[in-house]
Chain A
């Protein structure tokens, strides 16, 4: 590991002596396939369905672990030196978002709607090599910020929609996750078009150790609701809920991911 790191740190110096440098502004579009590393929200769904049992006309479906996969767009800079072999690096800023959800219907036709929106901001630095300015191989570090918002509301029998506090479980829940992702990938350059594919995994750097939850709160700190994993205990005896395991944790929305994109290289 140390030798590989040393190699990548020294690589630019081998290429500086070479006379040719290339690069420019990058405009990027792509798709991210991702999977949640936790299933806390699905625990809430299962528990919610179990609690209401026979009072439900149709229970809530659990979410697929890939539910937050989404298209993305970005901008950045890419640089490489040498003709047949050389150093390559890039800095890309990406943004993507996705809406998804699930719902259940009570026997009295009130619908519980759980609507998610996740927004991802990623700053990724690639370091690697190129071969003949066509094949690019790299490792990367990425700073990743994800904001997840859940609207948990009721549709009443007349179609009215409520996120109010007439029932404690209703509300707008939020979780922010910041991760340092590591990974690697490769790319093909065909004229001004660059096609990168990479895989990334979240590390535990910047981890909250599970302390942060999907939470509905206000800035006066008067009221806050952590979305429970154990719905029945939350209803009947909330004081006895386990503080570590009893709530939907923000870190359960972290994902490992595969990104594929098309970049237009402007300038070289």
Chain B
């Protein structure tokens, strides 16, 4: 039996496997660093009976800037401007989750530690195009709760 070539091959395969398993969050962070234009914003009300009402559908809705000023491999800082909004988001933490299925905007709705974050579901994840949606309860009608869905299409500038 020739031992050395087989053990060498096994060792090489194990090494390749480990190298290939780079953290998803770090890879997403590298992809997202930069300036993204919100090329489309759609706001939809989802009614209890399944019908929907689109209240906003506009292009060039704002700009999302993500930078790595604090050298944290998992987190970026976000600066967000949304046209027509009274809010401003400056230098706040942003990350994706470990499975790269959601993005987390910390202190999005308010300044408190709890209850102020916005978590959006990643619907499209490409190097220069992203689509995210986030939801809130928005009142009620006969039949149940109305939900407000905001969808952003982002393209890298």
A interface, CB within 8 angstroms of B: 21-25, 75-77, 79, 93, 108-109, 149, 151, 153, 156-158, 160-166, 172, 174, 218-220, 222-223, 266-268
Contacts and interface: CB of A to CB of B under 8 A. Distances in A.
A218 to B, nearest CB: 6
A86 B21 CA distance: 39
Contact of A157 (B49, B101, B114): B49
A44 to B, nearest CB: 20
Contacts of A22: 1
Interface of chain B, helix or strand or loop or mixed? mixed
B97 A172 contact: yes
A9 B52 CA distance: 71
Nearest to A161: B121
A77 B120 CA distance: 46
Interface residues of B, number: 45
Contacts of A218: 95, 97, 104
Interface of B: 1-2, 6-7, 9-10, 13-14, 25, 44, 46-52, 74-75, 93, 95, 97-99, 101-102, 104, 106, 113-114, 117-121, 133-137, 143-145, 147, 149
Contacts of B48: 108, 157
Of all A-B residue pairs in the complex, the 10 with the closest CB atoms, nearest first, are A157-B50, A108-B144, A165-B119, A25-B6, A166-B135, A164-B119, A163-B121, A108-B48, A156-B46, A158-B52
Contacts of B135: 156, 160, 162, 164, 166
A166 B147 contact: yes
A23 B10 contact: no
Nearest to B97: A172
26 contacts: A21-B1, A75-B10, A75-B13, A93-B14, A109-B50, A156-B149, A157-B49, A158-B44, A160-B133, A160-B135, A162-B121, A162-B134, A163-B102, A164-B102, A164-B119, A164-B120, A164-B133, A166-B137, A172-B99, A172-B101, A220-B93, A220-B95, A220-B106, A222-B113, A222-B117, A266-B6
A24 B1 contact: yes
A267 B133 contact: no
B19 to A, nearest CB: 15
A24 B44 CA distance: 62
